[in-house]
Amino acid sequence: MEIIIHRGTKEIGGSCVELIINKKRLLIDIGLPLDYDSWSDEEKVDYENKMSSIIQKADAIFLSHYHQDHTGLLNLVPDRTPIYLSDPTIRAIIIPEMFFGDVFKGFNFIPIYHRKVITEIEGVRIIPYRVDHSAFGAMAFLIEDLKLNKTILYTGDIRLHGLSKTSYLSLKQNVDYMLLEGTNIGRESNAIIKSEQQVFENFVNIFNSYPSHLNYVWASSLNIDRINLLYDACEETNKILAVDFFTMNILKSMYKHHNVPYGSSNRYIRCFYPNYLTSYIKRIQHRDYLINCVHWCKVSKTEIKENPSKYVVMIRPSMIEDLKYIDASNANYITSIWKEYEKDEKYRPFFEYIESKGYNKFYNHTSGHAFEEGLQELNRYLKPKTIIPIHTQEASKYKDIFPDSNILQLSDGEKTIL
C-alpha cells in the first residue's frame, strides 16, 4: 500500500491522508488549515485547485469528525463519491448548514458505526472505532490491506481524559503503522485543567460559590460532551441551563440516538432566542421552523433578567446585546473553549463589556487532544510496530516521547510505500 499525507505532517489542522490500496484511492479527512482565513485569495484558489484534483480522484472518503480542520474541503467532493462518517458527524455538518449555508449540496453520506466493518471497497477492510475527542462522534479508522496483510490505524483526534476516556481500549493493538496525532506535543505548559471531570467539578464549585450570581459560559455549541457536563453541573446545583436555539437544534437533532440533554425529561435545560441570530434567521425565507421547532422549551430573557441566580446561560460574544438587555448586576463569566479565541480582535467589545460590569472571570476548559502522558499510554497499550506523526507541529519530538518505538516521519505530499 502507498501513503501520501497531503497535509498535516508539520502542522495542526488541514489533515488529509491518501492511501492507495489495491488501486483504490482512499482519502481520510479533507481539512482546511487552521490559518486558512488569513490566506490571500490567490493562495486559497491555488490550494483549492490542488486539493480539488486530489479529491476528484478519490474512490471513497472517510471523515474522522466534524471539525473544520478535518472536513473543511467537503464542498469539493463530487456528489457520487461515497463519504463515510458517523451519525453525529452528519448531524453536526447538516444543522449549521441549515442555519448558515446558502444551498446545501447533496452528498453521498454513508453512516458508520463503532466496530461495524466496512467492506464495500475491494481488497480493503475498514473498521471505525469511537474515540474520545471534543467532537462528539469522533472516529479512528483501522485500515487493512487484505492482499498484503498490512494494517494501519489512523487515530484521528484523540484524548484519554474526556467523558469516554477508556474508549481507546477497543482500538486494534499491534498494527503495522499508527498515524498518531500530536497536537499537544510541545505545548502543554499552560494546560492546567487535565480532565473533563475537573471541568465539571470547577463548574459546580463556581456555581456554588456565588449562589446569587447569574452565570455566563462561553462554550462551543458543537462540543456536546461539554454541554452534557454543563447540564450535569446545573442539575447538581439546581440551576437551569439556557442555550440558544441554534445549540438547541443541534441537541434536538441528536437526542433520539445519543445521550444529550433534550426533551421533556430534561428539566434543567431551556432555550432562549438571541437578538442577532433570531433576526438573521427571520430574514431568510423558509427557515422559521428552526425557531419554532424548539419553541416549546423557551425561556425569555426577561425571565432570566428577573431570576438571574436560577440560570446558567451558554453564550457567544455575538450575544453582547442580549447580555446588555439582561443587565445582571452580579454575574460570573466563564470561558470554556480554547483560550486563544479570546484574543481575537473582533471579540474586544464583548470582553470590554464584561470588564465594565465587573463580572468575575474564570477559565474552565481542557484540551480536546491527548497530553503527552496520554499519548504514551496509548502507545504502551496499542504497541504499533511503527508510528507516523500527524496533526502536530513537533514531529521531530516523537522520538523523544516514544524512545522505544519506530518513528516514520513523512513530509507533506511525499508518496511512501508501506
Chain residues that interact with Zn ion, rule: CB under 5 A:
67, 157
Min dist CB 175 to Zn ion, Å, is: 21
* Radius of gyration over every alpha carbon of the chain, rounded to an integer in angstroms: 22
Residues 6+ apart with CB under 8 A from 196: 161, 162, 163, 165, 225, 226, 229, 366
Find the shortest distance in angstroms from Cβ 31 to Zn ion. Answer: 9
Least distance between Zn ion and beta carbon 407 (Å): 23
Instruction: Output 157 or 196, the one with its CB closest to Zn ion.
Output: 157
Cβ distance to Zn ion smaller for residue 29 or 244: 29
**Shortest distance in whole angstroms from residue 346 CB to Zn ion:** 23
Cβ distance to Zn ion smaller for residue 7 or 67: 67
Point out which residues pair with 244 in neighbouring strands: 272
Cβ proximity to Zn ion, 6 vs 252, nearer residue: 6
Measure the CA–CA gap between 53 and 360, rounded to whole angstroms: 51
Separation CA 118–CA 126 (nearest Å)? 5
Min CB(391)–Zn ion separation in Å? 8
Q: Identify which of residues 67 and 252 has a Cβ nearer to Zn ion in the complex.
A: 67
Query: By C-beta, is 34 or 291 nearer to Zn ion?
Result: 34
Measured from the CB atom, the residue of 134 and 249 that comes closer to Zn ion is 134
Residue 2 near residue 25, CB atoms below 8 Å: no
Q: What is the dihedral of CA 260, 168, 62, 143, to 10 degrees?
A: -150
Min dist. Cβ of residue 135 to Zn ion (A): 5
Please report, for residues 38, 247, 269, 326, 327, the alpha-carbon distance to residue 272 in angstroms, rounded to integers and kept in the order given. Answer: 33, 10, 10, 12, 16
86 - beta bridge partners? 112
Name the residue nearer to Zn ion (CB basis): 85 or 206.
85
**Residue at 190: amino acid letter:** N
Give least dist CB 196 to Zn ion, A: 15
Residue 94 is which amino acid?
I
- The nearest distance, CB 225 to Zn ion, in angstroms, is 12
Minimum CB distance to Zn ion smaller for 11 or for 157: 157
- End-to-end CA, the chain: 6
Closer Cβ to Zn ion, 72 or 274, answer by number: 72
Q: What cell was used for 251?
A: 441537541
Q: How near is the Cβ of 348 to Zn ion at its closest, in Å?
A: 27
- Find the shortest distance in angstroms from Cβ 279 to Zn ion: 31
Cα three-residue angle 153-113-122, rounded to 5 degrees: 60
Instruction: Give the rounded distance of the alpha carbon of 262 from its chain centre.
Output: 20
Residue 202 makes CB contacts below 8 A (sequence gap 6+) with 193, 362, 364
Least Cβ distance, residue 170 to Zn ion (angstroms): 20
Q: All 3 cell numbers of residue 167?
A: 474508549
Give CA–CA dist 259/237, Å, rounded. 21
Q: Measured between alpha carbons, how far is 385 from 173 in angstroms, rounded to an integer? A: 10
C-alpha cell at 205: 464549585
- Look at strands 331-335 and 177-181 and give their pairing: unpaired
Distance CA 132, CA 327 (A): 38
The helix (run of H) or strand (run of E) holding residue 318 is: none
Residue 157 or 322: which CB sits closer to Zn ion?
Answer: 157
